[in-house]
A = this chain, B = another copy of it.
Amino acid sequence: MDYSSLAQKPLSEVTERTEITDGLVVVTFRNPYIARLARAGQFVNILPRVGAIDPLLRRPFSVYQRSGEAVSVIVQVTGRGTALIAATMPGEMLDVLGPLGQPWKADSTEREAILIIGGVGVASMPLLTEVLKSSGKRIATYYGARSEKLIARHGLEAIEVATDDGSAGFHGTNVALIDQHLSEKRFSNPKLYVCGPTGMMRAAKALAEKYDIPCELSLETEMACGIGICQGCPVVADEATFAKTGKRFRLVCTEGPSFMSNAIEL
């Protein structure tokens, strides 16, 4: 991968901005390079304010959608950086670097894909769905959210919803729902693809162990660089990996963001 010509022009014009609900915004920008190369599960790194030294660092976002030369990210406002990015208006510029990280390992042999989504963890799922569909997997999507209006269905398949407030679908966590469905033997050869808050990821990891099924988790850690030069974004490797390789940590930005659940500690 050689970025040298294109990645030096990270300035990307925002072409669309859609508010899903208060504090949850889809921002679309023009970046032919990222649009062409990005694969499901990779992310882009966005500077909250072009040219500013405060905020100093970029913010990572999964590639949510792309079409033609346009790339979209779905931004949940959680602090000052996301607030600035979510407020960017069409015509304004964003400074975007990417695509970064490794794609979902969607080419594994299992015939069924269970997508487990918590909140804005939906971000990498439309592209994943696309890949899984094109390779003929059976997809089941379990989407947990605080309430119905926070659900972004676009690009997903076979969605089962679980909401904390019971405003739609199953009243409870999506992991509890999958547990039920797994125990009912609704799947014969599944793999879990998981992205959401840490608590949900831990539950999914436990579920995978309980039913002995492969499970891939897409992680979020603070990142200073996103490209493997700061060592700031480690996740703890599992004991077996550590014993074998001496590697206590793995970098989420370059080795991840997704890891097999048995390769890491959470």
Residues of A that sit less than 8 Å from B by CB:
52-54
Contacts and interface: CB of A to CB of B under 8 A. Distances in A.
Contacts of A53: 54
A interface SS class: loop
3 contacts: A52-B54, A53-B54, A54-B54
A50 to B, nearest CB: 12
A52 to B, nearest CB: 7
Contacts of A52: 54
A65 to B, nearest CB: 29
Contacts of A54: 52-54
A70 to B, nearest CB: 25
Nearest to A53: B54
A24 to B, nearest CB: 21
A53 B53 CA distance: 11
Nearest to A84: B52
Nearest to A55: B54
A52 B52 CA distance: 11
A152 to B, nearest CB: 28
Nearest to A52: B54
A25 to B, nearest CB: 19
A153 to B, nearest CB: 33
A86 to B, nearest CB: 15
A52 B80 CA distance: 10
A225 to B, nearest CB: 21
A90 to B, nearest CB: 14
A52 B81 CA distance: 12
A141 B52 CA distance: 41
A200 to B, nearest CB: 33
A52 B54 CA distance: 8
A84 to B, nearest CB: 10
A18 to B, nearest CB: 20
A125 to B, nearest CB: 34
A52 B53 CA distance: 11
A36 B52 CA distance: 36
Nearest to A51: B80
